[in-house]
Every structure is written in structure tokens, then in C-alpha cells.
């Protein structure tokens, strides 16, 4: 069984495809209302042309609000978690899980958050858990409580230990990895996940705040010289921060950002989606983290700082 925490766009996509390919999943939602809707409607995954790619009826799903975690897990050890909440939801997840976390059998957690800072927070709070940091370029857009549009197939990279694999890692390969592959996800194990996380951080730090401020789709960033100029400024400042920290970066990353905008041209970035839904964004874990890294290294990232403050200043409500 795989526990998927978070029923946003990625949570629904992974839960729907895993369940439809025969994996037992439990899906944990933020609210009771969403759990009831999913239990009633089932999960539907549409392809980008609007055709139904996957439908899992509600009676074939186990779905519950996160607030029920302690009641439902007080006797059993949870083995595999796909943590799919936004950065802002991670502390609430830990608050619900830790009181009944079992130490006799390590829990493996695949962490799929945007931005950085969450891995250290989870590790500090739950040292016995085995963490698999991950990044994905899957493009998904939630539609209502129980449906998601799979807007673009991507690759999911999962961090793999450089040292020798432990028993837990071998079980992970046999179970979680195989299930993800069987569900049709393009997944690879990476010994350089940190690099992948910094690459994704920069992609998000360039695309997300600008699309959120201008309220435009990802592709619209490319259609205007002023927008491209701002993207380049954010990119150059980010690279300067990475250089100051000795973080490896590659000259191809700028082209990758352009490619992501093209491949997801019709999408709202996750930050724009949050702004439109009036919910708190991940800007502090993305541009805010870059600003803090800049301060630590004695350099500046003024464009990131201004965008961070502008978006924080929207005072969007907590999740
Ligand atoms: O956060 C997002 O929306 C996505 O990570 C990305 C890559 C910017 C595409 O929209």
C-alpha cells in the first residue's frame, strides 16, 4: 500500500494512475469535504485534449482527511508515503503523523515539493524516516475536487543514496519504483538529486513569480521582450547565488527554462493558480530561499527579493 498525502493536482494524478494500475493507495486530503467528494465521484484523469485517460470509481479508493491519520494509523506502521502537499502544508502533515509514527519499521517518504528547505525540516522532525527527495516535471492541473488534467507528461527524478543501498532502498525499488513504472510514470533514480532540486528551484524561481504577478500563462512569458528581460534577470541573479555557494550549475539551464515555458505554454504555474485561488503561495520556499542563500553568501538577489515581498504582500490565506 502507498499512502499519498495531498490531493492537489499531482496527488490526484499519482493516486488515480497508481490505483487504476492495481496499486493499493490511500489518499489523504486536507479537508473532509474533499475526501467526501473524491469518495463519491472517484478520481478522473483527463488528457490534455479533455478525453478521460483514467477513471477510478470512489468505491475502489480509500480516501480520508489528514485529520483522521492518528485514528486510522494508531496500530499499524505506515511503510511508504508519497508526500505531495505544497511546502506550506508540510508542517501540518508532520503534526498529524508524528504522534503515531512507529520506530520499529522505518517509513520511506518520497518528498515532491517545489522549492527547498523541506527536506531538512522533515529530517529534523522525524529522523527515523527514510527520505527520498524528488523533483518532477509532470504537468497537471486540478479541476474541481476529484479531477485533474494531465497537461504534459514529464520525468520524475527520485534521489538515491550515493552510499550502499540499505534494505529499505531495495524494498523501495521492488515496490514503489515498480508500481510507479507500472502506472506509466517516467521515473528515474538519481544520485545527483541535489543538482536536480537546484535546477528545479531556478526554473520555479524564474517562471512562477512572474506569471503570478502578471497573471499570465507560462507560454506568455516568451512573447514579450520585457518579460524575457525580467526572466533573464532572475536567472542571472540565481546563478550568481549558486556560484557564491559553489553549487554546480549548467549553461543549458536557461534553455531548459525556455523549454518548460513552451512545453507548458497553456498552463497556469502553481503560483499563479494559488494567487487565483487566493491561497498562500510557495514564494517563500522558492524566491525567499534564494534571497536567504544570497544573504548567507554575502551577495544580493534584489529582483527575487522584490518579487518575494510583492507576492507575500498579497496576504493570501493559509492553506
Ligand atoms: O510550479 C509549477 O507550476 C511548475 O513547477 C512549472 C515547471 C513552473 C510549470 O508550470
**DSSP letters spanning 169-228:** HHHHIIIIIHHHHHTT-EEEEETTHHHHHHHHHHHHHHHHHHHHHHT--GGGGGG-HHHH
Provide the CATH number for the domain around residue 281: 1.10.1040.10
Tens-place pLDDT, residues 115-143: 999 999 999 999 999 999 999 989 888 99
Q: Could you tell me if 151 and 202 lie in one domain? A: no
The structural domain count of the chain equals: 2
Mean pLDDT of 196-212: 97
The rounded Å distance from CA 17 to ligand 1 centre is 20
Mean pLDDT of 235-249: 98
| Burial of 186 per CB tally in 10 Å (0-12, 13-18, 19+) | middle
Q: Report if residue 319 sits inside a domain.
A: no
Q: Could you tell me if 140 and 165 lie in one domain? A: yes
The rounded Å distance from CA 49 to ligand 1 centre is 20
Tell me which of 208, 256, 277, 311 to substitute to probe ligand 1's pocket, judged by most ligand atoms within 8 Å of the beta carbon. 208
Q: Could you tell me if 175 and 227 lie in one domain? A: no
Boundary (domain end) residue, out of 150, 172, 191: 191
Q: Could you tell me if 36 and 170 lie in one domain? A: yes
Q: Report if residue 16 sits inside a domain.
A: yes
The 3-state DSSP class for residue 314 equals coil
Q: Could you tell me if 132 and 37 lie in one domain? A: yes
Boundary (domain end) residue, out of 168, 191, 214: 191
pLDDT score recorded for residue 208: 97
Q: Which residue has the higher pLDDT, 134 or 173?
A: 134
- The C-alpha angle 6, 8, 10, rounded to 5 degrees, equals 90
Q: Could you tell me if 108 and 212 lie in one domain? A: no
DSSP annotation of 138 reads: -
The rounded Å distance from CA 206 to ligand 1 centre is 10
Where does the chain have alpha helices with state H?
9-20, 32-41, 69-73, 90-97, 118-125, 167-172, 178-182, 193-214, 225-244, 253-263, 270-276, 283-297, 302-312
Return mean pLDDT, the chain: 93
Which atom of ligand 1 lies nearest, measured to the CA of 218?
A: 10
267 lines ligand 1 (CB under 6 A): yes
Which atom of ligand 1 lies nearest, measured to the CA of 260?
A: 7
Tens-place pLDDT, residues 290-317: 999 999 999 999 999 999 999 999 977 7
Provide the CATH number for the domain around residue 179: 3.40.50.720
pLDDT score recorded for residue 319: 53
Which atom of ligand 1 lies nearest, measured to the CA of 270?
A: 3
Mean pLDDT of 222-236: 97
pLDDT score recorded for residue 114: 92
Least confident of 72-81, 99-108, 192-201, 289-298: 99-108
Q: Could you tell me if 118 and 235 lie in one domain? A: no
Mean pLDDT of 246-273: 93
Least confident of 11-20, 101-110, 202-211, 265-274: 101-110
Q: Which domain holds residue 254?
A: 194-314
Residue 69 has pLDDT above 60, yes or no: yes
Boundary (domain end) residue, out of 191, 218, 238: 191
Amino acid at each position: 500500500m502507498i499512502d499519498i498525502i495531498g490531493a492537489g493536482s499531482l496527488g490526484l494524478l499519482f493516486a488515480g494512475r497508481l490505483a487504476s494500475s492495481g496499486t493499493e493507495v490511500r489518499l489523504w486530503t486536507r479537508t473532509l469535504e474533499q475526501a467526501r467528494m473524491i469518495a463519491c465521484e472517484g478520481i478522473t484523469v483527463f488528457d490534455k485534449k479533455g478525453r478521460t485517460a483514467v477513471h477510478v470509481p470512489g468505491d475502489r479508493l480509500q480516501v480520508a482527511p489528514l485529520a483522521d491519520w492518528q485514528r486510522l494509523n494508531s496500530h499499524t506502521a505506515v511503510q511508504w508515503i508519497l508526500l505531495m502537499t505544497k511546502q506550506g502544508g508540510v508542517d501540518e502533515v508532520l503534526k498529524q503523523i508524528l504522534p503515531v509514527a512507529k520506530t520499529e519499521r522505518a517509513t520511506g517518504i518520497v518528498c515532491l515539493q517545489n522549492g527547498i528547505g523541506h527536506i531538512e525540516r522533515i529530517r529534523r522532525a522525524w529522523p527515523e524516516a527514510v527520505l527520498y527527495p524528488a523533483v518532477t516535471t509532470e504537468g497537471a492541473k486540478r479541476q474541481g475536487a476529484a479531477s485533474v488534467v494531465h497537461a504534459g507528461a514529464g520525468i520524475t527524478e527520485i534521489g538515491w543514496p550515493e552510499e550502499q543501498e540499505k534494505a529499505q532502498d531495495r524494498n523501495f525499488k521492488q515496490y514503489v519504483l515498480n508500481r510507479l513504472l507500472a502506472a506509466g510514470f517516467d521515473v528515474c533514480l538519481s544520485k545527483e538529486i541535489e543538482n536536480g532540486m537546484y535546477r528545479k528551484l531556478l526554473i520555479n524561481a524564474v517562471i512562477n513569480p512572474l506569471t503570478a504577478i502578471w497573471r499570465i500563462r507560462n507560454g506568455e512569458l516568451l512573447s514579450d521582450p520585457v518579460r524575457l528581460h525580467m526572466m533573464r534577470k532572475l536567472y542571472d541573479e540565481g546563478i550568481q547565488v549558486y556560484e557564491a555557494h559553489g553549487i554546480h550549475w549548467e549553461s543549458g539551464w536557461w534553455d531548459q527554462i525556455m523549454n518548460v515555458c513552451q512545453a507548458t505554454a497553456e498552463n497556469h504555474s502553481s503560483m499563479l493558480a494559488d494567487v487565483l485561488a487566493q491561497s498562500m503561495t510557495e514564494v517563500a520556499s522558492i524566491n525567499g530561499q534564494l534571497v536567504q542563500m544570497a544573504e548567507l553568501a554575502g551577495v544580493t538577489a534584489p529582483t527575487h527579493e522584490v518579487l518575494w515581498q510583492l507576492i507575500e504582500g498579497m496576504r493570501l490565506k493559509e492553506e
